[in-house]
């Protein structure tokens, strides 16, 4: 079984059930939004406002993640439905879908986690790899991350504009892109913060605040889902040399090593747009999201056969690893113990030099026992670190520096 065979099998089996799924999700999302807005408008107490606001933010999360993100990936283009198509769907966010498609579908998915080529790697304001040169501005990275999560849709809109303008050869073309973004921002802001509140009459502020809270939570949720798929421990970062003369097989490998999943049930899968299966999404970004669980089982079997890691875990743990990385890498390298060769968030072959010389690994090649690859090397390296005991020189150096400064 190969990854290409998985794609062919899924594409050949797409049909009525898949079509019914996406239409069912669209109906559910729209009905939920209508019910939420009516609850906000018609209720008088805090309970009604809270229920309506929760319903609104859930509907916004579903529209953004399971609908907007996946439809603009072309996952449902095979239906030839003019409404549910990557070229016509306009999502409920301030940035134009067309600019998102260029920045995300091309820049991010083709060059996933390649430093200097993947614009989504830290979004230009967060350091997520020791291979990125440290700058004083990164000291504020933890605060930037919090701020970005709150206004994520606005930050992404500007981020997408900058990415597309950079590859636009004429000033006229760049100006046209900016005008398109400003028009979409104006329409979206007017809808959320003027039109719907105005329909509420004297309850303008009540509806305004509900929309503000709903959009804010949706922004934070989208941020969490995205960073847990790429900045977490185990999601490797790559230098530009990795994509020179890259074959299709090597591209597949980079996608698997550069992404991470998190555990999720049916509700969390829907809320995250099935991006709890980030590995599968990056291998097959244009295959329908409702097929990701089926794809995941087959991908795991392939990875197990070749002893490659399948990075996943509870969402809370994955988010903690991400926050830890952002906070650590906000400091200069001299305060860090690990290097870009053996850090939790990125590594090179040097990390496993001692493991490669392990007699068990050498014997496996001689006697033909089970294949021993990267997954085993990672496990063995972790066991070696446990035997050596914890290392705290970075913390000791930081404490000494603080003591000298205030002594």
pLDDT digits (tens, 9 = 90+) for 249-269: 999 999 999 999 999 999 999
| CB of 245 closer than 8 Å to CB of 297 | no
Q: What percentage of residues in the chain have a pLDDT greater than 90?
A: 74
Cα(235)–Cα(273) distance, integer angstroms: 20
pLDDT digits (tens, 9 = 90+) for 289-322: 999 999 999 999 999 999 999 999 999 999 999 9
Write the secondary structure of 19-86 as one string of H (helix), E (strand) and C (coil).
Answer: HHHHHHHHHHHHHHHHHHHHHHHHCCCHHHHHHHHHHHHHHHHHHHHHHHHHHCCCCCHHHCCCCCCC
pLDDT confidence of residue 289: 97
pLDDT at 366 over 60: no
When mean pLDDT is compared over 102-111, 213-222, 377-386, the highest value belongs to: 213-222
Give mean pLDDT, residues 224-242.
93
Q: What is the pTM of this model?
A: 0.88
Residue 210: Cβ-neighbour burial (10 angstroms; 0-12, 13-18, 19+):
buried
Cα(212)–Cα(219) distance, integer angstroms: 11
Please, which pLDDT band fits residue 327 given cuts at 50, 70 and 90? very high
pLDDT confidence of residue 367: 47
- Residue 250, Cβ neighbours under 10 Å: how many? 12
Cα(213)–Cα(241) distance, integer angstroms: 43
- Give the helix/strand (H/E) hosting 123: none
| CB of 131 closer than 8 Å to CB of 115 | yes
Residue 401 in tokens = 């520096």
């Amino acid at each position: 079984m190969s990854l290409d065979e998985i794609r062919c099998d899924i594409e050949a089996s797409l049909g009525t059930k898949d079509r019914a799924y996406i239409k069912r999700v669209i109906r559910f999302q729209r009905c939920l939004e209508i019910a939420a807005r009516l609850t906000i408008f018609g209720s008088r107490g805090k309970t009604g406002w809270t229920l309506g606001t929760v319903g609104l933010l859930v509907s916004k999360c579903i529209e953004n993640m399971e609908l907007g993100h996946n439809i603009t990936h072309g996952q449902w283009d095979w239906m030839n439905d003019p409404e549910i198509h990557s070229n016509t769907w306009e999502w409920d966010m301030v940035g134009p879908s067309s600019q998102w498609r260029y920045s995300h579908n091309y820049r991010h998915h083709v060059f996933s986690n390649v430093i200097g080529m993947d614009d989504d790697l830290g979004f230009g304001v967060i350091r997520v790899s020791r291979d990125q040169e440290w700058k004083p501005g990164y000291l504020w990275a933890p605060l930037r991350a919090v701020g970005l999560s709150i206004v994520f849709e606005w930050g992404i809109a500007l981020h997408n504009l900058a990415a597309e303008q950079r590859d636009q050869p004429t000033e006229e073309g760049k100006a046209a892109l900016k005008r398109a973004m400003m028009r979409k921002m104006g329409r979206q802001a007017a809808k959320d913060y003027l039109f719907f509140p105005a329909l509420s009459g004297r309850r303008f502020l009540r509806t305004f605040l509900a929309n503000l809270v709903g959009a804010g939570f949706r922004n934070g949720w989208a941020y969490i889902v995205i960073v847990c798929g790429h900045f977490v421990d185990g999601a490797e970062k790559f230098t530009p040399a990795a994509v020179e003369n890259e074959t299709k097989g090597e591209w597949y490998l980079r996608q698997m090593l550069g992404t991470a999943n998190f555990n999720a049930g049916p509700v969390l899968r829907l809320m995250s747009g099935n991006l709890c299966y980030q590995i599968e999404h990056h291998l097959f970004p244009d295959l329908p999201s409702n097929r990701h669980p089926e794809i995941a089982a087959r991908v795991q079997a392939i990875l197990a056969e070749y002893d490659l890691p399948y990075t996943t875990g509870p969402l809370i743990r994955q988010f903690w690893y991400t926050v830890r990385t952002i906070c650590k890498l906000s400091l200069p390298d001299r305060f860090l113990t690990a290097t870009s060769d053996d850090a939790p968030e990125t590594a090179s072959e040097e990390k496993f030099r001692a493991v490669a010389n392990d007699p068990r690994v050498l014997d496996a090649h001689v006697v033909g026992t089970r294949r021993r690859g990267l997954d085993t090397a990672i496990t063995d390296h972790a066991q070696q670190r446990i035997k050596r005991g914890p290392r705290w020189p970075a913390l000791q150096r930081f404490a000494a520096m603080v003591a000298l400064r205030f002594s």
